[in-house]
Amino acid sequence: MKPLLLLLPLGAVLALEFPDESSESDEHNDGQTSQPNPPTDVQSDNPNRPKCPQHWFTSYRPQGVWCIRLGLTTMEYQGAKAECGTYGGVLTGIQNSWERWLIAQEAVRQTLYYNIHIGGVWLGAQRNFNNESFYWTDGHTTGTEGIKWGPGQPDNDRTNGPENCLQLIALSPGYWNNPGKYSGFRTGDIEDYWCHKKEPATRLFACGMKGPPEN
């Protein structure tokens, strides 16, 4: 196992999910791409509450337990959506800042394993036909608390047609010296993007599915 960088006051939760991996890094963040602080609404790790199956994170949403799983993919949006289906899920929306932070941290963990410093995570969202706004497609996520736009986003840049999908940008601390398009982004920032493009080239899906009932 490659040592994990960064992570986590979320240690308890992740330790449950990945019992054979340890976090041991003191990697320092620079100013520009520093990781967002864990939100203050960090979830309690009450052992009496139901948990999602192995390989899935557990989020206790007001509307019920929601399970979240990330993986690397070679796919564009439609393919990533189908890939979630093979796990029994759908591309997930983001309910709150805790989930956004979780997805960003896990995306960074999975890409850093391959020494990759930037990845784009397909989310379960589509642009409304009749206006510029987006809706969550997973049938569970509500509201806009989970959205934090990257600089200048959403811009619906029409270079390749309308940007009807959303991706979350995951930048590792080592990305600081990259002068590319995403240099102004912070890990976990979201942008509207073309569903058929793969940029950044390293892609991930974020799947969601309903978890066990609370009682």
Ligand X SMILES: *[C@@H]1O[C@H](CO)[C@@H](O)[C@H](O)[C@H]1NC(C)=O
Residues of this chain that bind ligand X (CB under 6 A): 128, 130-131, 133
Whichever of 44 and 130 has its CB closer to ligand X, that residue is 130
Work out how close the CB of 193 gets to Ca ion at its nearest, in angstroms, rounded to a whole number.
Answer: 6
**Residue 131: contacted member of Ca ion, ligand X, none (CB under 5 to 8 Å, by partner type):** ligand X
Work out how close the CB of 129 gets to ligand X at its nearest, in angstroms, rounded to a whole number.
Answer: 7
**Residue 130: contacted member of ligand X, Ca ion, none (CB under 5 to 8 Å, by partner type):** ligand X
Give strand ranges (E) for 83-212.
90-91, 118-122, 125-127, 134-136, 165-171, 190-193, 203-210
- Residues numbered 97 to 156 that lie near Ca ion (CB under 5 A) are 155
Work out how close the CB of 213 gets to ligand X at its nearest, in angstroms, rounded to a whole number.
Answer: 29
Whichever of 189 and 192 has its CB closer to Ca ion, that residue is 192
**Residue 83: contacted member of ligand X, Ca ion, none (CB under 5 to 8 Å, by partner type):** none
Pairing state between β 90-91 and 134-136: unpaired
From residue 26, how far is each of 6, 173, 187 by CA, in Å? Answer: 7, 11, 18
The b-or-e profile of 81-103 (16+ CB within 10 A means b, else e) is bebbeebebbbbbbbbbbbbbbb
Q: Which two tokens stand for residue 107?
A: 């995306």
**Residue 155: contacted member of ligand X, Ca ion, none (CB under 5 to 8 Å, by partner type):** Ca ion
| Cβ atoms 98, 86 nearer than 8 A | no
Using CA atoms, how far apart are residues 101 and 24, in angstroms rounded to an integer? 19
Binding-site member from 192, 194, 200, 203 for Ca ion (CB under 5 A): 192
Work out how close the CB of 133 gets to ligand X at its nearest, in angstroms, rounded to a whole number.
Answer: 4
What 3-state DSSP class applies to 64?
Answer: strand
Sketch the per residue contact string, 152 through 191, with Ca ion: x for CB under 5 A, - otherwise. ---x-x-----x---------------------------x
SS (H, E, C) 173-210: HHHHHCCCHHHHCCCCCEEEECCCCCCCCCEEEEEEEE
Whichever of 24 and 155 has its CB closer to Ca ion, that residue is 155
Whichever of 110 and 137 has its CB closer to ligand X, that residue is 137
For Ca ion, the binding residues (CB under 5 A) are: 155, 157, 163, 191-192
